Amino acid sequence: MGKLDEARALYQRLIGYSNHLGLLPEMVDPTSGEALGNFPQALTHLGVIIAGLELTRAIEERDAAGEG
């Protein structure tokens, strides 16, 4: 959608919810940021990794085209 700066900020916010092992909880309290629920299996984290790779690729392509 062309909102790469917004997407980067949201992704960085998401990663900020990970614990010291880099694991993300099922839910996060929106007020305190406290981890809630269980820690999901690898397939959930795989989606986060793929999203990060795709975001990086899109940003690099934008920058190479001189649009950033």
Does residue 26 carry a pLDDT above 90? no
Query: For the chain, what are the domain ranges?
Result: 41-68
Question: Given this model, what pLDDT does residue 36 score?
Answer: 87
Tokens of 4: 């790469």
Q: Quote the pLDDT of residue 6.
A: 95
pLDDT computed for residue 27 by the predictor: 86
Question: Residue 8 class from Cβ within 10 Å (0-12 exposed, 13-18 middle, 19+ buried)?
Answer: middle
Q: Residues 6 or more apart from 38 whose CB is under 8 A from it? A: 25, 26
